[in-house]
Amino acid sequence: MSNSILEVVNLKTHLDTATGELRAVDGVDIKLRKGECFALVGESGSGKSMTALSLMRLLPEAGRIADGRVLLDGQDLLALPEAAMRAVRGRRVAMIFQEPSTALNPVLTVGRQITEVIERHTALTGEAVRARALALLDAVGIPDAARRCEEYPFQLSGGLKQRVMIACALAAEPEVLIADEPTTALDVTIQAQILDLLAKLQAERQMAILLITHDLGIVARMAQRVAVMYAGEIVEIADRDAFFAAPQHPYSQKLFDALPTPEKRGTELSVIPGQVPPLTGKFEGCRFVERCEVAYLRCRHEVPQLIAIPGDATAHRLVRCHLREQGLAPPPQNVSTEVEEGTLVAVASMPVIVEAENLKVHFPIHKGLFKRTVGYVRAVDGVSLAIHAGRTLALVGESGCGKTTAGKALLRLIAPTGGRVVFAGKDLSTLSRNALRKGRGAMQIIFQDPYASLNPRMRIADILSEGMRSLDVGRDDKDRMYRVAELLEQVGLPLEALARYPHEFSGGQRQRIAIARALAVEPKLIVCDEPTSALDVSVQAQILNLLKSLQERLGIAYLFITHNISIVEYLAHEVAVMYLGRIIERGTTAEVLGDPKHPYTQALLSAVPTVDGKREIIRLGGELPSPAHPPAGCHFHPRCPKAMPECREAYPEAVQLGRTRTVNCILYRASKAASSTPGRRGRCGTG
Amino acid sequence: MPVILVTDVLVWLLAAAATGYAFYCRRHPHLAVPWARVFRSTAAMASVVVLGVYVALGLLDSLHFRPELEKKDGEQKAYSSEVLSVLDLALSHLRGRSEKTYSAPLATRSFAKEQIELPDGRQLRDFPRLRFGGAHLQDEGEWAGDVAKRMLTGIAVAAALLFLIFLVMKIIRKRRPEIPWSAAYAAIAVLALLAGPAAALSSGYHVLGTDKVGQDIFYLALKSVRTSLVIGTLTTLVLLPVGIALGIAAGYFKGWIDDVIQYLYTTLNSIPGVLLIAAAVLMMQVYIDLHPEMFQTAVQRADLRLLFLCIILGLTSWTGLARLLRGEALKLSQLEYIQAAHAFGVRDTRILARHILPNVSHIVIIAMVMDFSGLVLAEAVLSYVGVGVDPSTNSFGTMINAARMEMAREPVVWWALATAFTFMFALVLAANLFADAVRDGFDPRVRM
């Protein structure tokens, strides 16, 4: 293409590590056209962030660019001296980073940080700089720009900080914007705002965006063209629509298969076996060969090239696969959607294993010399829920809504301030400390971060047997070792793992160990606190499959805490949506996700980027208020598109809509009577 | 008759514990790996050699006994009231040869003029010949030749020894090629080339001069090493249990326990350390003076004061470690594996022992080696002020204290101070370099 603004030719970036030279980026070619959003997709370790840093020449100390050219309007950036490169960074190519909280300098005002960029790269001085900074803050949608300009980063929320970052990046009107996972650290509703903003700015300024992400949903929404990276190479480049209609590389196909969707409910998710090969060695054949189901002999001995597919003139696709020499891949077959409705309904009649009533966790705020309590953070403020044996209840909400605290309070890992938890017929708050300790085995928890959840100083055998020893499960050590071996087999790890330490395992394997640890004491309920949010899609599929099969075999109930709606659709039987410490809507998965009633649920669901088609997005203004000072009346009314004056007066009562469903919104108060009509009950029965 | 001093017992226990720890580390990869990283650093290997020499001196000096007196007929066995160590035996040629007063390094004559009575009865005011230093020389004109000869002999012996070590090194190097043996060898070479001539010269001269009462400075310096090591190590032994227990208890239990412990160390930190130590040491001194019957020898009395100084220093300097560990334990107690342990109903004591303690051990090790050099210096300062070790105990502090007035003399008496400075500097520098390497090896944040 002649109109390409940024062209990367055969870029190779190597990192020096203890185990040898790591080829993080190994021959990447990209052409970025003017005014285009080009997405670079890949799992962690695929080299996508290294590519971005190489373009900006901002590599870490151990890294160096071994080969290749980066042409910006025909000028090779890699040949420029460092001084000239500084004039390019920010001015012609700007970058937004993943973590807005660390990307801004905490001791400078927001205005100062933007004007710094303007002064560095433009001829403007004095008042003109300030005026421009204000205009930029306006442009990125920060309300009350003049006041915000004088504020420090700590006074801003995550979403606002990311907007400021974007304003900084846009300050000198760059031709190319590199966005490295710009919304990964943000909640879905905020993510929707930021993505909208980027799309709007791109259209207005004819900027080229290189979007780096692992989320196919974001790609579907933002990009015009897509490149998939695997093990330091691009394995597929295509136009968005062509890519989403029929991905051509086996790896891309696998990525789509591994995504949990409602259609795959009741079936196993497809997983990619094995791991990304170490990038320190030389490759004889295709890098994906060990994990590929359609690999044949040639794949092992001949390195595939990025080729155009014969008979595919329109989509401008390039694929690195020998198979595609024979033409297009067959379009993906829809997985059979035989959801076992029968089992779903049957499980509803299972007994309730745990029930929380009006559960409250308030954290006191201390102030002053004598640490007087001046107020409370109402992290969990009256949550009631019931989980049936062998079923999964998903607790959904944005960060800061109190869902993790609720989960921990349920297990009494945090002492609740009020309310009752009844587990298997016993009220936990009446139990003595000792009795509670003995009963711990029945309720377990799996954490989000597989790196922090295992003690690095203990061997796997000790980690797995710790709970058993503490709770006197098993007769003696020998008996426990048998059980430990059995557990490893259940979660699919080899026996020799026992003598090893956690750091020798990958994230997915560690999460399996954490699951085995929880299973060791034969729990009836496991609280899963975002167990897959730190994992790649393919590994996430393995863990979800494991959790699902364990539930079927052992009849364990899950409280699944997550913000990922697609997992809920795939795994959960029931859903409870939380907002600012309270459950605002609950019901079966089909009811809540298929036909959300509460305005917040509607907005939340619409904000989730999906791979297939586009939903109408309900835009929410503002951010989650502080749980220390919740808004009067309905907590959601300041952001609610359907708010009425009444909403400000009192917190809405729960309205029962059908047998399994409640919603806390006055919109449905009138239909309370209607909810008992046979018609509605019939509809709920199908869910 | 062997004399068992309290500090001797503790020093040897510590040595045994260190050996035990080394074996423990070999079997636990999470400890063996960082230690292996430590020994891959050239600075660490060189400083280990220097520290090793100091430790060897200190250990030899920690085996005490009372020599048997020559028996007269019919009498029972009697022992001298003087307590000696194995090191004293090795250095007996230095210990016994006291001059009257100051003499410069390698000098043959005293530093101060005296009235000398000549054989013919005339009186002369001149620098008198020393009783031992260079006494073997008939003519002082031979001095230069004799010194040169002795130095060359020393160097020759050292070179021969170094060649032997070189051969041994070659074998070891093949077994563990990743360790920078050449750095260790260089350090050994420097030490040998210094020690060889020093040993050769010391039989005829006072290599580093003598002090006010004529004691050999070289001997005093070697004897001071033990005091420094005792202060540096035993103090940490006192400090560690207090610091670790209070630090992780404050960080883990939080609430009122944390408040109490924080109050304690904030208060302790606000009292000037020297004042507290001076008060405690003086009280101790009064107690010792009032109960002379408890001690058979003066050395035992001085030893108790040394031990007490260690305890006092330890009890006043645990605050830094406790503060570090409190912060770390606060962080760890929020980690998910601790919460998982709570979910298993694991008892608090077990969580502290199995989950918290092993995960703060790198901080403890780093703090220990870092504190060592600080304590060695603190001893010198305290002894200088006069509240440190007993005046009869050899230490760098007492050496400096004794030498300070002579700095104002003309010509200046520099050797006592210079010797104390050099020995202490070498020890502290080696300890600091080693501490740096340990921190690099253990601190996860430094790791590349």
Does B335 sit within 8 Å of A457, measured CB to CB? no
User: Does residue A534 share a domain with residue A443?
Assistant: yes
Q: Give contacts of B354 with chain A, Cβ < 8 Å.
A: 455, 458, 466
User: Does residue B389 share a domain with residue B257?
Assistant: yes
Give chain A's count of helices (H) and strands (E). Answer: 23, 24
Q: Within 13 Å and on the Cβ side, how many CA atoms surround A566?
A: 24
- Token pair for residue B264? 């304690």
Which whole number is the average pLDDT over B208-228? Answer: 88
- Token pair for residue A596? 């959300």
Say how far apart CA A193 and CA A182 lie, in whole Å: 12
Does A453 sit within 8 Å of B346, measured CB to CB? no
Give me the DSSP letters along A333-358: PPPP----HHHHHHHTTSPEEEEEEE
By C-alpha distance, the chain A residue nearest B342 is A413
- A277-292 per-position pLDDT tens digit: 888 888 888 988 888 8
User: Does residue A355 share a domain with residue A332?
Assistant: no
Structure confidence at residue B378 as a pLDDT band (50, 70, 90)? confident
pTM for this one?
0.79
The structural domain count of chain A equals: 2
User: Does residue A350 share a domain with residue A323?
Assistant: no
Say how far apart CA A541 and CA A254 lie, in whole Å: 11
User: Does residue B267 share a domain with residue B192?
Assistant: no
Residue B87 lies in a domain: no
Which whole number is the average pLDDT over A117-124? Answer: 87
Q: What is the pLDDT of residue B356?
A: 92
- Token pair for residue A263? 């259609």
- Give A439 to chain B, closest Cα distance, Å: 8
Residue A531 belongs to a domain with what CATH number? Answer: 3.40.50.300
Structure confidence at residue A341 as a pLDDT band (50, 70, 90)? very low
- A196-223 per-position pLDDT tens digit: 888 888 888 889 999 999 888 889 888 9
Q: What is the pLDDT of residue A348?
A: 55
Nearest CB among B337, B339, B342 relative to A454 is that of B337
Q: What is the pLDDT of residue A211?
A: 93
| CB-based contact A336:A267 (threshold 8 Å) | yes
In SS3 terms, A56-74 reads as: HCCCCCCEEEEEEEEEECC
Structure confidence at residue B115 as a pLDDT band (50, 70, 90)? confident
Which amino acid, residue A399? S
- Looking at chain B, the whole-number percentage of residues with pLDDT higher than 70 is 98
| CB-based contact B64:B299 (threshold 8 Å) | yes
Structure confidence at residue B130 as a pLDDT band (50, 70, 90)? confident
User: Does residue A552 share a domain with residue A604?
Assistant: yes
Using a CB–CB cutoff of 8 Å, tell me whether A433 touches chain B.
no
Nearest CB among B339, B345, B358 relative to A438 is that of B345
Q: Give contacts of B358 with chain A, Cβ < 8 Å.
A: 455, 457-458
Q: Which residues contact A482 (CB under 8 A, 6 or more apart)?
A: none
- Comparing B97 with A600, the larger pLDDT belongs to A600
- Give the ipTM of the model, two decimals please: 0.77
Give the three-class secondary structure for A419.
strand
pLDDT(B33) > 90: no
Q: What is the pLDDT of residue B19?
A: 93
The residues in A 492-531 lying below 8 A from B, measured between CB atoms, are: 501, 514, 517-518, 521
Say how far apart CA B104 and CA B108 lie, in whole Å: 8
User: Does residue A295 share a domain with residue A362?
Assistant: no
User: Does residue A351 share a domain with residue A330?
Assistant: no
- B180-207 per-position pLDDT tens digit: 888 889 999 999 999 988 888 888 888 8
Structure confidence at residue B29 as a pLDDT band (50, 70, 90)? confident
| CB-based contact A354:A445 (threshold 8 Å) | no
The structural domain count of chain B equals: 2
Which whole number is the average pLDDT over A406-423? Answer: 89
Q: Give contacts of A449 with chain B, Cβ < 8 Å.
A: 336
Does A445 sit within 8 Å of B339, measured CB to CB? yes
Average pLDDT, chain A: 84
Q: Which residues contact B200 (CB under 8 A, 6 or more apart)?
A: B150, B151, B153, B154, B157
- Comparing A72 with B412, the larger pLDDT belongs to A72
Q: Give contacts of B345 with chain A, Cβ < 8 Å.
A: 436-438, 440-441, 470-471
Angle made by CA atoms B324, B330, B332, in degrees to the nearest 5 = 100
| CA-CA-CA-CA torsion sign (A214, A333, A236, A288) | positive
| Burial class of residue A638 in the structure, from the number of CB atoms within 10 Å of its CB (0-12 exposed, 13-18 middle, 19+ buried) | middle
φ and ψ at B325, to 5 degrees? Answer: -70, -35
Using a CB–CB cutoff of 8 Å, tell me whether B448 touches chain A.
yes
Residue A622 lies in a domain: yes
pLDDT(B384) > 70: yes
| Cis amide linkage into residue B411, ω under 30° from 0 | yes
Burial of A515-549, coded b for 16+ CB within 10 Å and e otherwise, reads: bbbbbbbbbbbbbbbbbbebbbbbbbbbbbbbbbe
Say how far apart CA B94 and CA A238 lie, in whole Å: 88
By C-alpha distance, the chain B residue nearest A500 is B29
Does B340 sit within 8 Å of A447, measured CB to CB? yes
Say how far apart CA B302 and CA B390 lie, in whole Å: 5
Average pLDDT, chain B: 86
Q: Within 13 Å and on the Cβ side, how many CA atoms surround B374?
A: 13
| Owning domain of residue B270 | 223-442
- A170-188 per-position pLDDT tens digit: 888 898 999 988 888 778 8
| CB-based contact A67:A256 (threshold 8 Å) | no
User: Does residue B156 share a domain with residue B282?
Assistant: no
pLDDT(B107) > 90: no
User: Does residue B153 share a domain with residue B283?
Assistant: no
- A473-486 per-position pLDDT tens digit: 877 888 888 889 88
| CB-based contact B38:B437 (threshold 8 Å) | yes
Max Cα separation, chain A? 79
Q: What is the pLDDT of residue A342?
A: 43
| Owning domain of residue A362 | 344-456+502-640
Does A467 sit within 8 Å of B344, measured CB to CB? yes
User: Does residue A540 share a domain with residue A633?
Assistant: yes
Residue A79 backbone zone (phi > 0: left; psi -120 to 50: alpha; other: beta): alpha
Does B345 sit within 8 Å of A440, measured CB to CB? yes
Does B355 sit within 8 Å of A455, measured CB to CB? yes
Structure confidence at residue B352 as a pLDDT band (50, 70, 90)? very high
Say how far apart CA A87 and CA B212 lie, in whole Å: 71
Whole-angstrom Cα Rg for chain B: 26
Q: Give contacts of B350 with chain A, Cβ < 8 Å.
A: 470
Using a CB–CB cutoff of 8 Å, tell me whether A470 touches chain B.
yes
Say how far apart CA A505 and CA A575 lie, in whole Å: 33
Q: Give contacts of A457 with chain B, Cβ < 8 Å.
A: 30, 358-359
- Token pair for residue A573? 């039987």
Does B30 sit within 8 Å of A470, measured CB to CB? no
By C-alpha distance, the chain B residue nearest A446 is B340
Residue A105 lies in a domain: no
φ and ψ at A334, to 5 degrees? Answer: -70, 135
What are the strands, taking DSSP E only, across A182-297? 208-213, 225-230, 233-239
Residue B375 belongs to a domain with what CATH number? Answer: 1.10.3720.10
User: Does residue B184 share a domain with residue B255?
Assistant: no
- A546-570 per-position pLDDT tens digit: 999 899 888 899 999 988 888 898 8
Nearest CB among B29, B335, B346 relative to A452 is that of B335
pLDDT(A336) > 70: no
Which whole number is the average pLDDT over A443-449? Answer: 89
Please give the torsion angle defined by the CA atoms of residues B153, B155, B158 and B164, in that order, rounded to the nearest 10 degrees: -90
Q: What is the pLDDT of residue A677?
A: 41
Say how far apart CA B302 and CA A525 lie, in whole Å: 66
Say how far apart CA A178 and CA B83 lie, in whole Å: 78
User: Does residue B249 share a domain with residue B176?
Assistant: no
Residue B346 lies in a domain: yes
- Token pair for residue A324? 């595609």
Structure confidence at residue B417 as a pLDDT band (50, 70, 90)? confident
Give the three-class secondary structure for A256.
helix
User: Does residue B189 share a domain with residue B256?
Assistant: no
Q: Give contacts of B340 with chain A, Cβ < 8 Å.
A: 445, 447, 453, 514, 517-518
User: Does residue B435 share a domain with residue B387?
Assistant: yes
Helices in B29-90 by DSSP H: which ranges?
Answer: 29-39, 42-60, 86-90
User: Does residue A558 share a domain with residue A444?
Assistant: yes
Which amino acid, residue A654? A
User: Does residue B435 share a domain with residue B386?
Assistant: yes
In this structure, of A58-72, B71-85, B221-235, the range with the lowest mean pLDDT score is B71-85
Whole-angstrom Cα Rg for chain A: 27
Q: What is the pLDDT of residue A513?
A: 92
Does A454 sit within 8 Å of B343, measured CB to CB? no
- Token pair for residue A95? 């970058």
Residue B194 lies in a domain: yes
User: Does residue A406 share a domain with residue A300?
Assistant: no
User: Does residue B136 share a domain with residue B238?
Assistant: no
- Comparing A365 with A523, the larger pLDDT belongs to A523
